[in-house]
Amino acid sequence: TAKLSPEKLLCQLRDRVNVTMIEGSDGPFDTSEWQQYMPGKSLNETVGRLGRCAVVSSAGSLKSSHLGQEIDSHDAVLRFNGAPIKGFQEDVGQKTTIRLVNSQLVTVEEQQFLREELYNTGILIVWDPAPYHAEINEWYRKPDYDFFESYKLYRSTHPEQPFYILNPKMQWQLWDILQENSLEPIQPNPPSSGMLGIVIMMTLCDEVHVYEFLPSKRQTDICHYYQKFHDRACTMGAYHPLLFEKNLVKHINQGTDEDIYMHGKVTLPGFRNVHC
């Protein structure tokens, strides 16, 4: 159903989605108060140039996948929100280079977020649903979840751990491309953490393998590999335009349909390897 060829779509993603983190020079973060909390190094400086990367969705279909070793063989692995490793290494691996968390987790589940060891590994990135194409200042005044105090608290207690705030402009640049390539109007809500994480890794890595974002033969109504909770909306989307995200990813997949069916695995090029 996508309107552009896979090649053109990759070029649109490369050229129109500006993946950046908030920096100390960005207003309203350019105050002396904020300087002490902003990470000292940029994300690029922190990770360096990455080769093969894995993005691990939190889908229930990862259960019994035995993908752990394959996932850990990558140079870098991105995981989402509270997705655990302990007890699930066989299926999801244990390497965690980046953990992308939403602002709801950082505020509503603040106590766990500040206390659980899970979050102390790797680089953290938090994102928050911003108003459509809002300037950073406008978003800062009315974030979806006011996670800023919790962010400061975490930074104070873990000053050595890199922890970035995703520039909110990215989500709507990506949403516009999703909408332009869908035949129907899509939800006016930002893309899921999954889709954001995929595009973040495409900017950092030479090649990206995504696991169980497009469901394999193990597809299930069980929401997460780490919980016994059933909800079809987890796979198809309700708030997030997840179905449209998945159609787009299917369209630009450079791997085989068999890889999707057997392993829930998609292969995407890093933007460095996209030539327009």
In whole angstroms, give the CA distance from residue 105 to residue 120: 15
Establish if 216 lies at the interface with ligand NCC (CB under 6 A): no
Q: Binders of ligand NCC: how many residues, by CB under 6 A?
A: 20
In degrees, rounded to 5, the angle at the alpha carbon of residue 191 between the alpha carbons of residues 62 and 173 is: 140
Among 223, 249, 266, 268, binds ligand NCC (CB under 6 A): 223
Establish if 235 lies at the interface with ligand NCC (CB under 6 A): yes
Q: From the CB of 266, what's the least distance to ligand NCC, in Å?
A: 11
Establish if 81 lies at the interface with ligand NCC (CB under 6 A): yes
Q: Which range, of 5-13, 74-82, 147-155, 173-181, touches ligand NCC by CB under 6 A?
A: 74-82
**Where do we find the tokens 């999707």?**
260
Establish if 96 lies at the interface with ligand NCC (CB under 6 A): no
Establish if 119 lies at the interface with ligand NCC (CB under 6 A): no
The residue (of 132 and 239) whose beta carbon lies closer to ligand NCC is 239
The residue (of 181 and 216) whose beta carbon lies closer to ligand NCC is 216
The residue (of 38 and 123) whose beta carbon lies closer to ligand NCC is 123
Among 29, 113, 147, 213, binds ligand NCC (CB under 6 A): 213
Binding mask 54-73 for ligand NCC (x = CB under 6 A): ---xxxx-------------
The residue (of 38 and 245) whose beta carbon lies closer to ligand NCC is 245
Establish if 121 lies at the interface with ligand NCC (CB under 6 A): no
Q: Please identify the residue of the shown chain whose CB is closest to the bound ligand NCC.
A: 194
Establish if 97 lies at the interface with ligand NCC (CB under 6 A): no
Establish if 80 lies at the interface with ligand NCC (CB under 6 A): yes
The residue (of 38 and 223) whose beta carbon lies closer to ligand NCC is 223
Establish if 171 lies at the interface with ligand NCC (CB under 6 A): no
- Concatenated DSSP letters for 75-119? SEEEEETT---TTTHHHH-S--SEEEEEHHHHHHTHHHHHH-GGG
The residue (of 92 and 105) whose beta carbon lies closer to ligand NCC is 105
- Concatenated DSSP letters for the chain? --SS-HHHHHHHHHHH----B--TTSTTS-SHHHHTTS-SS-HHHHH--EEEEEEE--BGGGTT---HHHHHTSSEEEEETT---TTTHHHH-S--SEEEEEHHHHHHTHHHHHH-GGGGSSEEEEE-PPSTT--HHHHHHS-SS--HHHHHHHHHH-TTS-EEEB-THHHHHHHHHHHHT-SSPPPSSPPPHHHHHHHHHHHHEEEEEEESSS--TT--SB-BTT---B-THHHH-SSS-HHHHHHHHHHH--S-HHHHHHH-EEEEE-GGG---
Binding residues (CB under 6 A) for ligand NCC: these are 57-60, 80-82, 102, 104-105, 192-194, 213, 223-224, 234-235, 239-240
